[in-house]
Amino acid sequence: MEKMTLTDAGAALGISPDAVRMRVKRGTMRGEKDAEGRWLVWVNTEAAEAEREPDASGEREPESGEQSAEALRARIGELERRLEELSEERDFLRTQLNNLTFAQGMAAQAQAQKALPNPARRSWWARLLGRG
């Protein structure tokens, strides 16, 4: 285990200094600030070199958290299909809501019409003669 700056640790691990900083923040790497306020982290150089070296086929084995590009593309396709389904469902529910809101408004209007008093209807004789 060696004590290194964030930049050196990032180069040794094959990641950015910001990624090293985030590992320290998450607690997956140990680190401390020196007297000048710079971060120094503990790095197992043998494990870091073994992690960076490719296997016999020329590619390093993916870590448990890594996924192949093809798997990620498949997942993106699944998520896009799900998004489309949810968009269609949202549009259907929005239409249903608008229809129910309109029906409720019509029912309220009909109820209000029933509540109004019906003016007394004059006979046609009264209307013809102009009587009250």
- What span, in angstroms and rounded, lies between the C-alpha atoms of 16 and 93? 46
pLDDT at 53: 56
User: In 10 A of CB 29, how many CB atoms?
Assistant: 18
Label residue 6 exposed, middle or buried (CB < 10 Å: 0-12, 13-18, 19+). buried
Average pLDDT over residues 19-28: 88
pLDDT of residue 61: 53
Domains of the chain and any CATH numbers = 1-77 (1.10.1660)
> What mean pLDDT value characterizes the chain?
83
Tens digit of pLDDT for each residue in 32-85? Answer: 888 888 888 988 877 777 666 555 455 555 554 566 888 899 999 999 999 999
pLDDT of 87: 95
